[in-house]
Amino acid sequence: MRSVIGTAVFWGLLLTLGCTDTSGDKNDDTAPGPPESDTDTDTDTDTDTDSDTDTDTDTDTDTDTDTDTDTDKPEAQVVRFIAMGDGGEGNDTQYAVAAAVDQICAAKTDTHPGCEFVLYLGDNFYDAGVESVDDEQFQTKFELPYADLDLPFYVVLGNHDYGGCLFDECGAGFDFELSDFQVEYSDKSEKWNMPSEYYTHEHAHAAFFGLDTNAIMWDPWLDTAGDQPEWVAEALAKTTAQWKIGYGHHPYISNGQHGNAGTYEGLDWLDWLGVLTEVPLGTEVKAFMDEHVCGQMDLYISGHDHNRQWLQPTCDTEFMVVGTAAKTTDLENRGNPTYFEDDTKGGFVWIELRDLELTGEFYDQDGNLDYAQTVTKP
């Protein structure tokens, strides 16, 4: 439309300037070319009815449907999971905690699953681990208690999973061949995941590092840590995940019976061994975590002490203890500042990673919410 009008104006100006005879102006908008030769018979009946209907109705169909899609924000990255440990009893408390997990996961389901998986924090079979991949304890202390939970479990090993019975006490954790059976069970169960004694897995914007802290603890005497320090350093350097979450059996800090790495309270004869060799229990665990957890991981979750704790951040890392999947033991006055701690009931922690926010909710074995907090990643 603009080109036609422009051409008409151009020729109109020429006519006005006297370049052609305007007496025969037929106002032929449909013929924008140069005028015909000027024979000018001047009949000039002036049929210029100039209906000029000007079909340029220009209803401006540009209804500007621009709904400003800039308001469409990217979908949030969300990971939700359960963490709990020390569940290998097959007792009433373990069944109650499992039922509470099922209840909370169902209640949390919205546009995302209420729970995607479970971090299972070791001491999976009391008192001395399993003796084969067909050990009935896989059924009585894992499959049956968690039969209603349609979730994958990412499992790590605790000291009791490594056996170690002496002087009528078990759980010293020096029978290192026993770990093979729990690794092999991954091929027999749709729920149990332990591809190796230590391993990593990623979900959305979060990377998880399952550690074998018992092997690290015994390393000064039996050289059992293997390449775990090198492995975790490489895995941390390689991942591009926003969140880095570590989980293992032994705590870095704890107000429970076993206490802090480097000064663990253990079996009576292990305490004596620690004094005898002048190597306090857990010294190697502390050194490992000082280097590879502190400031390297955003959160480290452990069991070993049978209570629930969210400790105040230490060394730029959040620490939780959740060894209450089947029983409880008393807290001790060890002086570690906490946001929350409880030793009266079994339970678990539900965690959501939503973009740069971490929400932790501690529930008891009856599904009651005891504590909740959200922290934002810097």
pLDDT band at 273, cuts 50/70/90? confident
The CATH number covering residue 95 comes to: 3.60.21.10
The conformation of residue 168, written as its DSSP 8-state character, comes to: T
Report whether 357 contacts 342 (CB < 8 A): no
Q: What is the pLDDT of residue 71?
A: 60
pLDDT digit string, tens, across residues 303-316: 999 999 999 999 99
Q: pLDDT for 41-61, tens place per residue?
A: 343 444 444 444 444 444 444
Nearest Cα to Cα of residue 260 among 198, 325, 324, 309: 309
pLDDT in tens, 139-148: 999 999 999 9
Ramachandran bin of 278, using left for φ above 0, alpha for ψ from -120 to 50, beta for the remaining angles: left
Q: Which two tokens stand for residue 349?
A: 């922690």
Give pLDDT, residue 151: 98
Q: What value does the mean pLDDT take over residues 212-222?
A: 96
3-state secondary structure of 316: coil
Planar angle of CA 18, 22, 27, nearest 5 degrees = 130
Domains in the chain, number = 1
The answer to whether residue 282 sits within a structural domain is yes
In a domain, 35, yes or no: no
Q: Does 15 map to a domain?
A: no
- Residue 311, CA distances (Å) to 5, 127, 255, 320, 321 in order: 78, 28, 9, 6, 8
User: What is the domain extent for residue 201?
Assistant: 78-376
Residue 299, CA atoms < 13 Å, CB-side half-sphere: 27
H or E stretch covering 332: none
Residue 8 in any domain: the answer is no
Query: pLDDT-based confidence at 267, cuts 50/70/90?
Result: confident
Residue 41 falls inside a structural domain: no
**Residue 73 forms part of a structural domain:** no
Specify the pTM.
Answer: 0.81
Q: Position 140: which residue type? A: T
- Residue 39: inside a domain, yes or no? no
Please, are residues 32 and 11 in contact by the beta-carbon 8 Å criterion? yes
pLDDT of residue 16: 37
Asked, for residue 370, whether it belongs to a domain, the answer is yes
Interior/surface letters 259-289, b for 16+ CB within 10 angstroms, e for the rest: bbbbebbbbeebeeebeeeeeebbbbbbbbb
